[in-house]
Amino acid sequence: MNPLSGVKILDLTTLLPGPLATLILAEAGADVLKVETPAGEDMRRFPPMRGDTSALFAILNRGKRSISLDLKSATGKQSLENLIREADVLVEQFRPGVLDRLGFGTGSLEKLNPRLIVCSITGYGQDGPKRDVPGHDLNYMAESGLLSVSPGSPESPAVPPALIADIAGGSFPAVINILLALRQRDRTGEGCRLDIAMTDTLFTLAFWGLAQLDASGKPPMPGGELLSGGSPRYRLYKAACGGLIAVGALEQKFWNRFCALIGLPQTLVDDFIDPVATGAAIAGRIAEKSADEWRAVFDGQDCCANVVRSLSDAIADPHFAGRGLFARKVALSGDDTAMALPVPVSEAFRQSDPDPKAAPIELEAPDGVLPGWPGRSNSE
């Protein structure tokens, strides 16, 4: 039930994109060895804390092991060389050129291990004018144009609720390409270098905007397009209590049912005639009842309308609990819920790991040069 059992992954990454990618691989059975600086990764000190442990660090590093190496020292470099000789995959998140300056450029890595797959995750990639520009998720979204489609109002600019560039632009394509590279290595016996640029994938997420730009020559505008609030069929409406109702009734059958449920006048159902008037009328109708009252109206109806829930309410939903999204645990201070991941998808796989797994809370510092890949005892 562990498709990546026996695959050894060296994780030289920090914060979110790389650690989440290697967590997904660890969930599929890979042996992930996290290499940290002598002071430990910064994420170890990020709040919220559970006792002396960062909850963020714990959920991102569940089931991994960790060692401390000073890669600027001869001892640390020799230890890393020995690990590289036995590794299948090396994932790194340094700025372009840092690995080369440490003495682990592409040529050196090929000599140490010609079967090694090296996955580099950066904001803008290993080449190009922006390769050395620093940034974080919000910067990458701004640079790619994706943020311009949903920036909030001028009076209250909105920060996106998810780290889209880090996860959808970094972690997920890293996992996909590592798996493809492992499959390719099965056939050729050779490793390769993967260049994951978080901004590159953001253009994939903007596919509909790119299609509009190609077809009309006009870029998508916030609040002006079908999927950015320009249509009354795809919008957020405020209920009487201040809660929000999400309407995504794009198809005509869903739209007709939605309009009937809220009692929209028939003269406004054809939203192509006057979308502004239709949207205003819907806003007025939704504002007449509380979110709970609208929930009772929409539940069980084919209308693509529902109440915007809090994260805690969503986690408690029997549907998500029943699908096993939060069945796995992190051994922290008690059995804490592990991160919901896009793997595994089979029922048997979901049930194959009932026991809590610990994050590498204690940072191991080897005494001298590591001879090779550390073994596991039966108790571990």
Q: Is 319 a catalytic residue?
A: no
- The confidence band for 94, taking pLDDT boundaries of 50, 70 and 90, is very high
111 and 45 inside one domain: yes
Do 183 and 111 lie in one domain? The reply is: yes
The pLDDT assigned to 355 comes to 62
Give the pairing of strands 329-332 and 334-337: antiparallel
Split into its structural domains, the chain has a count of: 2
| Range 192-206 average pLDDT | 95
Asked whether residue 131 is assigned to any structural domain, the reply reads yes
- Boundary of a domain, candidates 314, 342, 365: 314
Q: Which of 11, 31, 88, 166 is an active site residue? A: 166
pLDDT at 376: 54
- Give Cβ neighbours of residue 108 (< 8 Å, ≥ 6 apart): none
**Looking at 70, 100, 136, 195, which residue is catalytic?**
136
For residue 151, the enclosing domain spans 8-204+327-350
Q: What is the CATH number of the domain that holds 308?
A: 3.30.1540.10
In a domain, 254, yes or no: yes
Give the pairing of strands 89-92 and 31-36. unpaired
Please give the mean pLDDT across all residues of the chain: 89
pLDDT band of 341, cuts 50, 70, 90: confident
**H-type helices in the chain, by residue range?**
17-27, 55-60, 74-86, 98-101, 106-112, 137-144, 164-166, 172-188, 198-205, 207-216, 252-262, 275-286, 291-298, 311-316, 318-322, 347-350
**146 and 252, same structural domain?**
no
Same domain flag for 160 and 47: yes
User: Per-residue pLDDT tens for 133-175?
Assistant: 999 999 999 999 988 887 777 777 888 889 999 999 999 999 9
Active-site residue 166, yes or no?
yes
**Residues 35-52 pLDDT 10s:** 999 999 999 999 988 888
